[in-house]
Chain A
């Protein structure tokens, strides 16, 4: 079902992520060529683009895994480029990151995977509180009975859900999803899309969803931006982009639907 409530725009909410003139290159390969993006509180924004267009690089810069070459990045009122190691860690605690391959720790059970960020970051937390927090996160993703299983015993969709649960354990204000439906069948993809919407409603998060799956973008996002050759094309709601005259957007949309 298409998402119909662009709450952030309706509420004139404050920006949680502001990107201005962001550049990133690897050697002589320019990946991001001066992009601007603002994400408002409570808003879900999809970043569409071809593989290798720099979508994942963008969210890795937002969370401080990569440093931009040029430009300004403000996340939750913090200038990311000016943060020290400790300040960056404090900011990271307010951001949840769901990896494309889930990135679950293979040597730990599902319970340990979820408890790990909590026990490492919150001092003097008793076992009962950790257990309650893990159970709450598992319940939010509908996998309460999988706590004792190892990541290798889970299906692709379940791994994605556990990855999202782990990102939610510290109750983040921003969620960054890297290809949440990549490699999943249509039914599991639909379940993940539903989960993304539930997460936003329950935790009141703002999200950036990196995807090339139009169904995911349509069903989860208030606004869609397209990254083409290192720059964003004008953004809009799904329907606006669907009926745009821009040839690059049209090509991307038509190819997806043909697929």
Chain B
């Protein structure tokens, strides 16, 4: 669309643009909820996107989760040993990885990998008129491209987060086993000893929220990209930055809420 440069800003151009952007995002989210429950459901496209988001991220999640498990355990050991509390290491690692590190780490990796890929793919489809081509073929591009990606991200990110937690704990176990010859059963029993249902529920719930956020931000930025190759790069970049920012913001809110529920 041609931008109207003659229109006067209500407050200032940048502030106006910011609020228009927020309103646009709000309408985008609303449209998603309007369309997600209405047929036709593109199950095959959801499976394809789940594969793209989930299976293709496994290698990266595996390496990162494993290394974080080892490094976190190694770094924490020194401090705990100073207090003679090295036996609490599995417990500490369990709390840290399940409650925070697993879901957040997965979300950040997915914001970078998945968010940028969705943003870039949809924006390049937009600038090459592929989205309009769908519309003129009587195919709803929002439903086919956006809804399927958001649903896939919302399903796959929590699954990846669970996998990341498992791999992180395996990494941690290897380090603990190497130092203290702790058995696999004892390590996992200790790691989960302080974990409650609320922790598991909160971790899964927040990973689901992160998945939804990553999907919707990637799709919003890609679907609303301005024309040209510059728009493609900008959409991919903004999708990553905004998704990461929102993941941290959501982490703070969810931690507060889950602590409040735990103490209630």
Q: What is the interface of chain A, defined by CB distance below 8 A to chain B?
A: 26-29, 60, 63, 65, 89-90, 92-93, 95, 97, 99-101, 103-107, 116-117, 120-121, 166, 170
**Residue of A29, A101, A107, A116 touching B137 (CB-CB under 8 A):** A116
Q: Which residues of B contact A104 (CB under 8 A)?
A: 130, 133
Determine the residue in chain A with the shortest Cβ distance to B5: A27
In the complex, are the beta carbons of B132 and A103 less than 8 A apart? Answer: yes
**Chain B residues with Cβ under 8 A from A29's Cβ?**
2, 4
Q: Give bound CA distance, A120 to B44, whole Å.
A: 12
Q: Does B7 contact A (CB under 8 A)?
A: yes
Query: B1 within 8 Å of A by Cβ?
Result: yes
Nearest Cβ in chain B — how far from A75, in angstroms?
Answer: 13
Query: Are B3 and A117 within 8 A (Cβ)?
Result: no
In the assembled complex, B135 has its CB within 8 A of some CB on chain A: yes
Q: Is B16 engaged at the interface, CB distance under 8 Å to the other chain? A: no
Q: How far is the CA of A104 from the CA of B125 in the complex (A)?
A: 9
A105 and B136 within 8 A (CB)? no
Binary flags per residue of B150-192, CB closer than 8 Å to A gives 1, else 0 = 0000000000000000000000000000000000000000000
Given that A27-B5, A29-B2 are contacting pairs, would A99 and B132 also be in contact in the complex, using a CB cutoff of 8 Å? yes
In the complex, the answer to whether B138 meets A65 with C-beta atoms within 8 Å is no
The answer to whether B128 touches A117 (Cβ under 8 A) is: no
Query: Are the CB atoms of B137 and A106 closer together than 8 Å?
Result: no
Size bin of chain B's contact surface? 20 to 34
Known: A26-B1, A26-B2, A28-B4. A121 touches B132 (CB 8 A): no
Among residues of B, the one whose C-beta sits closest to the C-beta of A28 is: B6
Whether B137 and A92, one on each chain, are in contact in the complex, defined by CB atoms closer than 8 angstroms, is: yes
A120 cross-chain contacts in B, Cβ below 8 A: 137-139, 144
Provide the residues of chain A in CB contact with B137, threshold 8 Å. Answer: 92-93, 116-117, 120-121, 166, 170
Complex contact A90–B138 (CB within 8 A) = yes
Q: Is the interface of B mostly helix, strand, loop or mixed?
A: loop
- Within residues 204 to 262 of chain B, which ones have a CB less than 8 A from any CB in chain A? none
| Across-interface contacts of A117 in B (CB, < 8 A) | 137-139
Shortest Cβ distance from B139 into A: residue: A120
The 7 closest A-B pairs by CB, nearest first: A27-B4, A26-B2, A89-B138, A103-B133, A117-B137, A103-B129, A97-B136
A-B contacts, 22 of them at CB < 8 A, read: A26-B1, A26-B3, A27-B4, A28-B7, A29-B2, A65-B132, A65-B136, A92-B136, A93-B137, A101-B129, A103-B128, A103-B129, A103-B132, A105-B125, A106-B124, A107-B121, A116-B139, A117-B137, A120-B138, A120-B144, A121-B138, A121-B139
Closest residue of chain B to A108 (Cβ to Cβ) is: B130
Chain B residues engaging chain A, CB cutoff 8 angstroms:
1-7, 121, 124-125, 128-130, 132-133, 135-139, 144
Given A27-B2, A27-B4, A27-B7, A92–B138 Cβ distance below 8 Å?
Answer: yes
> Pick the contact of A99 from B6, B129, B144 — CB < 8 Å?
B129
Q: Is the CB of B136 within 8 A of A63?
A: yes
Residues of A within 8 A of B139 (CB): 116-117, 120-121
Instruction: Let me know if B128 and A101 touch, CB within 8 A.
Output: yes
Residues of B within 8 A of A90 (CB): 138
Tell me, in angstroms, the Cα distance from A104 to B139 when the chains sit together: 14
A166 to B136, CA, bound (A): 11
A106 lies within 8 A of B4 (CB): no
Is the CB–CB distance between A103 and B130 below 8 Å? yes
Tell me the minimal C-beta distance from A137 to chain B in angstroms.
13
- Which one of B6, B130, B135, B136 lies within 8 Å of A27 (CB-CB)? B6
Q: How far is the CB of B166 from chain A (nearest CB, A)?
A: 32
Interchain CA distance A26-B128 in the complex, whole Å = 21
